[in-house]
Amino acid sequence: MDASQHTAVGDERFARGRLDEAMAAYRQALAASPGFAAARVGLDAILERARTPQPNAPLVALLLEGYADEGANWDALGWGAAHQLVVGWPKAATPEAMAGNPLLLQFLRKSLNRDATLERHLLALRAATAKALQPPDPPPAVAALAGAIAEQAWLNEYIWPDDPAVPDGVAGAMFRSQPEPRPEAVEERRLAAGLPELAPITDAVSQSVAAMYEANPYPRWTHLPRKPTLDIRARLLRDFPHARAVDFAAPLAVLMPGAGTGQHPLSVASTYETVEVTAVDLSRASLAYGKRMAARYGIGNITFLRGDILDLPKLGRVFDHVECVGVLHHMADPRAGLLSIASVMRPGAFLRLGLYGEGGRKIVEKARRDIAAARIPATLDGLRDFRRRVMGGDLKRLSGLVEWEDFWSASLLRDLCFHVQEHRFTIPRLRAFLKDSGLTFLGFEFTAGSAHRAVADADPVALYRARFRTEPTLSDLERWEQLEREKPALFAGYAFVCQKD
């Protein structure tokens, strides 16, 4: 069997929950063809889920192999690695002992920690490491550990508590950003100044949203995992066979409004077959981050443009495909944003959208109320204070926030709980939002990433199929509304696809 056949076996076993067999098949695929992207994706998905009651040496070896592979998904590996670190954390976790733990060093440098227990261990280790650095000539291994903790602190944007008693320098870099800027930051400032601008930002909400993302570009990321190439239109026509098949000339012109720091646009530019991507955002700092990363990965088929979605018609051109995730709910009038996007879409073009759902964000709503009541500012100190209250039990009703992927760094947490503008959708609101927009709703995408890891209490697709046997397209929003009425938490958020009429 070749790599793709082994991978097909892995995918089939994975879908049936037979993870050990799936893992063996993916490993055989990678043995046959070491860079085989689909097998890497499958193996990483298993390592992400791997949990053992005791430390497991073969699993640790696989995680280390993953961290050694530039094409692996280090974000996914981080979940499995954090678990191994927690179950194996020694009673005497001295800096000298922990400096010899290769999984810890890799994890700190490459994956953002999202585990509350591990955070407590890491904070204690950080304090001990700062102390161990004090005498002249600390052991080089301890200095290396300090360097790795400092990388983690950079990744989480210094969201952990500061200790002003620790001086700047090697030790201080584990606690706060240092007076000497990192080379990436210098490069981004240069790139930000040179970005072309669509039009000056005049909308008042857009201005305050821009200010927020200038201060905290979302998200900070370091690494682009390898993925198999994808013919996106063929995939969407396969997933939504009721869509209209319209042929577009290559390259496909892709618009990504609200591009953020480029993680999603770079993934699209490097994995979708023959595309030219236009990435638009309000925030120069975010776009500059993306532009720096595009240069690092040698991705040339992407243009970065500073501007407001409301001004897209000023581009004077149309696009064949649009992806806009986590953006329109931050506009004063999301429907105005939608209409602006629709106006630059070619007939037959697909639009993939991601929007917040009311049902899935109850805890965030409570958090926003508590933050307003306690007048916690959206500054780094405010974010740290808020986390201290949530994790320390002061705000018990918010303790479930640690289940959210966006709790764990400054830009993520600010986006999650401190946003200057947030709308939340329900199916009735979605119907009103799409009505007369010139876009036809094709269906939801249930495999798209969800912002928190709690398992939904029902499988929406199975529910719909069982209830509405005569409607095979799963695209009737009235029927979805009926299901949501019965199960208000059916959707954590809404990821869906529309087609331009």
Ligand X SMILES: C[S@@+](CC[C@H](N)C(=O)[O-])C[C@H]1O[C@@H](n2cnc3c(N)ncnc32)[C@H](O)[C@@H]1O
Residues making contact with ligand X (CB under 6 A)? 206, 209, 213, 218-219, 257-258, 260, 263-264, 280-283, 286, 308-309, 325-327, 330-331, 415
How far is the C-alpha of 259 from the C-alpha of 281, rounded, in Å?
Answer: 6
- Token couple for 194: 């040179």
Nearest residue to ligand X by CB is 260
* Choice between 282 and 417, CB closer to ligand X: 282
How far is the C-alpha of 153 from the C-alpha of 198, rounded, in Å?
Answer: 35
How far is the C-alpha of 40 from the C-alpha of 50, rounded, in Å?
Answer: 15
How far is the C-alpha of 360 from the C-alpha of 464, rounded, in Å?
Answer: 19
* Choice between 110 and 264, CB closer to ligand X: 264
* Choice between 321 and 330, CB closer to ligand X: 330
Long-range contacts of 125-129 (CB under 8 A, 24+ apart): 125/93, 125/95, 125/98, 125/149, 126/160, 126/174, 126/175, 127/163, 128/93, 128/94, 128/95, 129/95, 129/171, 129/174
* Choice between 89 and 218, CB closer to ligand X: 218
* Choice between 42 and 260, CB closer to ligand X: 260
Minimum separation from the CB atom of position 214 to ligand X (A): 8
* Choice between 119 and 157, CB closer to ligand X: 157
* Choice between 11 and 281, CB closer to ligand X: 281
Minimum separation from the CB atom of position 260 to ligand X (A): 3
* DSSP-based three-state secondary structure for 253: strand
Task: Say which residues have a Cβ less than 8 Å from residue 126's Cβ, sequence separation at least 6.
Answer: 149, 160, 174, 175
CB burial class (10 A; 0-12, 13-18, 19+) of residue 478? exposed
Minimum separation from the CB atom of position 224 to ligand X (A): 13
Minimum separation from the CB atom of position 348 to ligand X (A): 24
> Cα angle vertex 491, ends 488, 493, to 5°?
125
Minimum separation from the CB atom of position 499 to ligand X (A): 21
Q: What is the DSSP letter of 167?
A: P
Question: If you search the block for the tokens 């239109």, which residue do you land on?
Answer: 233
* Choice between 60 and 327, CB closer to ligand X: 327
Minimum separation from the CB atom of position 283 to ligand X (A): 4
* Choice between 315 and 463, CB closer to ligand X: 315
Write the single-letter amino acid at 101.
Answer: N
* Choice between 99 and 210, CB closer to ligand X: 210
Minimum separation from the CB atom of position 4 to ligand X (A): 30
203-228 as b/e: b if 16+ CB within 10 A:
beebeebbebbeebbbbbbbbbbbbe
* DSSP-based three-state secondary structure for 471: coil
Minimum separation from the CB atom of position 325 to ligand X (A): 4
Helix 410-417 and helix 362-373, axial crossing angle in degrees, nearest 10: 90
Q: What is the DSSP letter of 444?
A: E
Q: What are phi and psi of 214, to 5 degrees?
A: -70, -40
Minimum separation from the CB atom of position 396 to ligand X (A): 27
Minimum separation from the CB atom of position 154 to ligand X (A): 19
